[in-house]
Chains A and B, each alone.
Chain A
Amino acid sequence: MIDVKKIRKDFPILERQVNGYPLVYFDNAATSQTPIQVIDTIVDYYKNYNANIHRGVHSLSQEATDAYEAARQKIQSHFNAAHPYEIIFTSGTTHSINIIASGYCELLKAGDELLVSALEHHSNIVPWQMLCERTGAILKVIPMDEQGVLILDELDKLLSNKTKLVFVNHVSNALGTVNPIAEIIEKTHAVGAEVLVDGAQASPHIQADFQSLNVDYYVTSAHKLCGPTGVGMLYGKQAALEKLPPYQGGGEMIAEVTFEKTTYAGLPHKFEAGTPNISGGIAFGAALDYMNSIGMENIAAYEEKLLVYGTKELMKIPGLKIYGEAVHKTAVISFNVGDIHPYDIGSILDKMGIAVRTGHHCAQPIMDFYKIPGTVRASFSFYNTFEEIDLMVVALNRAITMLQ
């Protein structure tokens, strides 16, 4: 079991007060907080070896390049990718998805089919809609049931030799459902199509193994797993990445430039035009080190306890309904109380120092499915405590008394 008291000391922000109350941070699915070890990594970079990478012959540039490439290797080893160059640094999940969508634009023809799960975040829907408009490809939806679980029988019916790509999140941000990606990948590969997994919500809780999953593309953002914002990752199998054309032109991504023709650099530089977020990349590596020092299995086991306890305590509140009741869930509880608007609950909880998310969570199709304007979403992390859940329940009861 993990020592939460000790862990909380690593997060300076958890000591602050909000509106006169101690902060209870339950918006971890939106962004996680940053431990001092990661903050120090960023400070250390700017204090001691800030330089542009891959170019300079001087020592600072060499040190920065080494640290950046070491971070790439940490990511590779954390997720068990076959090669470091299969890890592309991006600005985050949305950027990663757009690189793939943009590349696919060249590969698709009218009538090709793309499948998207009903549980997707807008960032995993909109780029594909744009892509379909340009190419004449067709977007189809893998439906979900009342519990917020994808109906795999329907996937079987949708898959055909017209299918080119299936995209699905590993974990739903709005409901916390863990999707059976191994099964989806196997079924999709059977018709010769590829799978893109959005791991933004999963990677703080579940350590995906890219090689054993045999996934084609997997994307995530560092800020979901104790790293900084503005940096993320696109993993692609070597063959998958090689067939995609470059995304942006610029420095770093070229091999040779003449006015007649430019040849592109190999992986990963082909997709890394321009000066990247160097400190962010290095801090991404530090964040993984931090998570691994606690242990991903320990994190998952503790968060599961928070989920079970939180669910049990919230269910005691009359009229409270939880959305997303999959058996396999991460520590996310999306709920409403009677017909009270989630905005009202969120506003009052905030006055008592409790940070939750309210609204449609960038997943409007899910809200439409349940015919609700949105939900209140409490999402837990390994630095949260059972006492904080108690505080939320007390605050929630006060909010309900005020609002009813």
Chain B
Amino acid sequence: METIEAVQKEIIEEFSMFDDWMQRYEYMIELGKSLPLIASEFKSDDYIIKGCQSKVWVHADLQGTKLIFTADSDAIITKGIIAILIRAYSNQHPDEILNANTDFIDKIGLKEHLSPTRANGLVSMIKQMKMYALAFKTQLN
């Protein structure tokens, strides 16, 4: 199993191959379209992340000692961002998730999605994933 750091490095390398923003966004949109669907019972207000311009649902499940995330959004670019986050953080131990940093977002040219005016979408998603990690960590101990 790869570490979060290794996955992040891979993502940075992938994005570095693009020449301009349009290719980056086209790739994100592709990622968004291929994001596996979240089970419909989790697409409810209980799992919604507040403070996003687009709706985002995130669910987490512990399998063994690894946390598995599934998520969805009604906006495709947001789905692309989710796909990237899931690739980095899903199927990892809660401790790893809690300790992971988020610098790679900046390095793949998506810094603007971290700004508060994007209605905190990305920031809230990362926070929510870390909250899940914290909650499941206590189950493991």
Contact = CB atoms under 8 A, between A and B. Distances in A.
Contacts of B77: 343-344, 347-348
A344 B26 contact: no
B18 to A, nearest CB: 13
Contact of A402 (B29, B53, B75): B29
A386 B65 CA distance: 60
Contacts of B87: none
A351 interface: yes
A403 interface: yes
Chain B interface bracket (under 10, 10 to 19, 20 to 34, 35 or more): 10 to 19
Q: Dominant SS at the B interface?
A: helix
Interface string A325-347: 00000000000000011011001
A343 B74 CA distance: 9
A341 B25 contact: no
A341 B22 contact: no
B22 A351 contact: yes
A340 B79 CA distance: 13
A347 B22 CA distance: 11
A403 B53 contact: no
A344 B76 contact: yes
Nearest to A374: B53
B43 interface: no
Contacts of B55: 373
Contact of B25 (A343, A358, A374, A402): A402
B21 A341 contact: no
Contact of A341 (B26, B76, B112, B119): B76
Interface string B19-31: 0011001100100
B54 A373 contact: yes
Interface string A389-404: 0000000000000110
A402 B30 CA distance: 10
Nearest to B26: A402
B26 to A, nearest CB: 6
B29 A341 contact: no
Interface string B22-62: 10011001000000000000000000000001110000000
A269 B25 CA distance: 54
A403 B78 CA distance: 12
A344 B25 CA distance: 10
A348 B75 CA distance: 12
Task: Tell me which of A340, A351, A359 has the highest count of chain B C-beta atoms within 10 A of its own C-beta.
Answer: A351
Interface of A: 19, 340-341, 343-344, 347-348, 350-351, 358-359, 373-374, 402-403
30 contacts: A19-B21, A340-B76, A341-B54, A341-B74, A341-B75, A341-B76, A341-B78, A343-B53, A343-B54, A343-B75, A343-B77, A343-B78, A344-B54, A344-B75, A344-B76, A344-B78, A347-B25, A347-B77, A348-B25, A348-B77, A350-B112, A351-B21, A351-B25, A358-B53, A359-B119, A373-B54, A373-B55, A402-B26, A402-B29, A403-B29
Given A373-B74, A374-B53, 20 more contacts: A340-B76, A341-B74, A341-B75, A341-B76, A341-B78, A343-B75, A343-B78, A344-B54, A344-B75, A344-B76, A344-B77, A344-B78, A347-B77, A348-B25, A350-B112, A351-B22, A373-B55, A402-B22, A402-B26, A403-B76
